Amino acid sequence: QGTLIGTGIDAVGLPYEIYRFTVLHTYAAATEYKAFFESCCRIAQLINAGNASFRVEADVSLQSGNTGGPVSGIPVIIQMQVGGVRQFVLPVFDPDNDAHTCRFSTTAESAIPTNPPVIGSNPITFVQPGCTIQWDTTGGVVGNRYAVSIAVESLHNGKSSKATIDYM
């Protein structure tokens, strides 16, 4: 089950818990791998992924000189006020200082049927350049929840590393 590292209460008063799962694995060779975990099910109240499976993955390049791929630390629940254009800066770090890009994960990478989610006709978008998420929440309903998955990618000596970031 992992280690409980925090608890909180969302904007509508519902409690949640955050767990950390740590996995150690020794790879057989210094090449490229895909590490992932997946399971069922997301919470039923998600507008775009209620009871859907979830998947989080990373493309790992163990080539010589690559310290690591891009990472991010964000809250698992990002709360946005309804009724206008809102932005959230996704903090991203690459230990080799390799340039990174952000995009929405595919259904194969995240198991989210509709990613990015939409309010009315307003999908979440990225403000370019960078990893700033923008969403026009006009028409949104207080308490509605959406699943979102973002892939953060970097190149090191021509080899790609990727991490998917999953949140609500």
What radius of gyration do the chain's Cα atoms show? 17
- Measure the CA angle with vertex 128, ends 81 and 168; round to 5°: 35
- Report the alpha-carbon distance of residue 28 to residue 60 in Å, rounded: 13
Query: How much is the pLDDT for 11?
Result: 79
Instruction: Quote the CA–CA distance of 149 and 19 in Å, as a whole number.
Output: 18
Confirm if 117 and 147 have CB atoms less than 8 A apart. yes
What is the rounded CA–CA span in Å between residue 48 and residue 35? Answer: 25
- 28 DSSP 8-state letter: S
Average pLDDT for residues 37-49, to the nearest whole number?
A: 91
User: Residue 18: pLDDT above 80?
Assistant: yes
> What value does the mean pLDDT take over residues 97-101?
89
Euclidean distance between CA atoms 78 and 145, whole angstroms? 10
DSSP run (H or E) holding 109: helix 107-110
Query: What is the band of 127 on the pLDDT scale with cuts at 50, 70, 90?
Result: confident
At 70-86, the pLDDT tens digits run: 888 887 888 899 999 99
Quickly state the pLDDT bin for 52 (edges 50, 70, 90): very high
Place of tokens 């006709």: 121
More confident site: 98 or 129: 98
pLDDT of residue 151: 93
Question: pTM to 2 decimals?
Answer: 0.86
Q: What proportion of the chain, given as a percentage, has pLDDT over 70?
A: 99
Which burial class, exposed, middle or buried, applies to 72 when counting CB atoms under 10 A from its CB (0-12, 13-18, 19+)? middle
Cα dihedral across residues 80, 81, 85, 91: positive or negative: negative
